[in-house]
Amino acid sequence: MTAMFIKHKTFMFPLSLLLLLFFASTDTNAMLIKDMYAFCKETEDVNFCLKYIGTDVRIITARDFNDVLLIAISQCQYQVNDAATQIDKVRQKFSGPIGTHRIVYCQNYYELAYALFRKAYEEAEGGEFASVAQISATDGLNYMRKCEDEWKKNGPIQKSPVTFYLTNVVKLLSIIQVIIEKING
């Protein structure tokens, strides 16, 4: 029992030291909660912005809007990835020829969308190409829209299983637009 306590005690010292160093080295230019709320009020959907951008753990270390842009683009990547997972989950429900075609079509276009969001992230990472990153992200969104449209043509109209994710990315791109305006401001 004593040995366990000693292990625990020695483990706590470095952890507390790390926490102290983290808080001591946190950039004083980090985005404050009140600044995040003020920013989200400028977007089309304040609650959505607060949920996906404001609660992202990386926001506490965001130094400027370039960092917030990276968070927004990576949130788009998460949405595309979650949509691809959803496509795999519902594959069995759409096993006929039209459904199979639509699933494969969407899977291919979501792969392209993900690649474009990854490209957008890389373009924004340097901090110099925010507007170029926005173009790549918009192109990614357009591939997602092509998937959505596929559920309305070439056969009976069906509800797309990934509409939720498309809607989220549309909202994230509207947030990215506000960020770009602030960066270029």
User: In this predicted structure, what is the pLDDT of residue 78?
Assistant: 97
Judged against a pLDDT cut of 80, whether residue 60 lies above it is answered with yes
Q: How far is CA 79 from the centre of its chain?
A: 6
List, for residues 85-117, the tens digit of each pLDDT value.
999 999 999 989 999 999 999 999 999 999 999
User: In this predicted structure, what is the pLDDT of residue 31?
Assistant: 64
Delimit the domains of the chain by residue range.
29-184
Assigned CATH class of 29-184 = mainly alpha
Judged against a pLDDT cut of 60, whether residue 18 lies above it is answered with no
Judged against a pLDDT cut of 50, whether residue 11 lies above it is answered with no
Both tokens assigned to 21: 């160093």
Mean pLDDT of 38-52: 95
* Contact indicator for 146, 109 with CB cutoff of 8 Å: yes
Instruction: Please tell me the pTM assigned to this model.
Output: 0.81
User: In this predicted structure, what is the pLDDT of residue 1?
Assistant: 35
Both tokens assigned to 60: 């506490």
Confidence of residue 20 (pLDDT cuts 50, 70, 90): very low
Confidence of residue 30 (pLDDT cuts 50, 70, 90): low
